[in-house]
């Protein structure tokens, strides 16, 4: 093999996973996986009355029962900066598309209506 052949083999091996993930459809939300990721949300969104206590009292929106697509969109907007709340921006920038999909599936399904199943 010539050095050029080694190079193109290596380039193909590097490129393949990138192409595969770029072409993938948006990840489907997995509520069970989402339930493992809410630890970083319940500190604020799980408070009765939906208010933070520190450093100042402000209202925190209720997430359970929101539409899945709405939650996904909201998190993407915090991540991109289209929504500008500082704490939510900090959190959303740490989330992957898959995290967002899972969290949205979890919170969308966490409404009381699922209790009747
Ligand atoms: C530090 C407290 C805090 C944490 C932690 C937190 N949030 Fe939030 N979140 C807020 C506040 C406050 C708002 C309202 C911000 C605003 O007015 O834009 C909000 C808004 C949202 C919204 C938009 C709701 C709406 O009705 O528009 C979503 C969705 C959301 N958070 C999801 C999450 C998820 C998922 C996590 C965990 C990964 C999380 N948040 C962690 C405080 C927090």
CA torsion, ordered 116, 99, 78, 54, to nearest 10 deg:
70
pTM confidence score: 0.72
Determine which residue's CA is closest to atom 18 belonging to ligand 1.
85
31 against 42, higher pLDDT: 31
Please report the DSSP string for the chain in residue order: --HHHHHHHHHHHHHHHHHHHHHSPPPPP-HHHHHTSTHHHHHHHTSTTSB--SSS--B----TT--HHHHHHHHHHHHHTSS--HHHHHHHTT--HHHHHHHHHHHHHTSGGGGG-
CA 10 to ligand 1 center in whole angstroms: 43
The pLDDT of 31-45, averaged and rounded, is 87
Please give all residues whose beta carbon lies within 6 A of any atom in ligand 1, as ranges.
40-41, 43-45, 52, 58, 60-61, 63, 71, 74-75, 83, 85, 87-88, 91, 103
Residue 45's pLDDT is what?
81
Q: Could you read off the pLDDT of 56-95 as tens digits, one per residue?
A: 556 777 788 889 999 999 999 999 999 999 999 999 999 9
CA 76 to ligand 1 center in whole angstroms: 12
Two structure tokens written together for 107: 């919170």
CA 44 to ligand 1 center in whole angstroms: 7
Q: Among 45, 46, 53, 67, which residue has the most ligand 1 atoms within 8 Å of its CB, making it the best to mutate?
A: 45
Q: Could you read off the pLDDT of 94-116 as tens digits, one per residue?
A: 999 999 999 999 988 864 444 44
Residue 58's pLDDT is what?
62
């Amino acid at each position: 093999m010539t050095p050029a052949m080694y190079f193109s083999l290596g380039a193909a091996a590097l490129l393949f996973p990138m192409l595969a993930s770029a072409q993938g459809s948006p990840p489907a939300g997995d509520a069970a996986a989402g339930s493992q990721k809410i630890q970083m949300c319940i500190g604020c969104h799980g408070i009765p009355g939906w208010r933070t206590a520190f450093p100042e009292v402000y209202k925190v929106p209720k997430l359970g029962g929101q539409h899945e697509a709405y939650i996904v969109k909201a998190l993407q907007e915090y991540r991109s900066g289209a929504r500008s709340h500082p704490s939510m921006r900090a959190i959303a920038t740490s989330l992957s598309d898959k995290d967002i999909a899972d969290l949205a599936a979890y919170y969308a399904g966490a409404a009381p209506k699922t209790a009747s199943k």
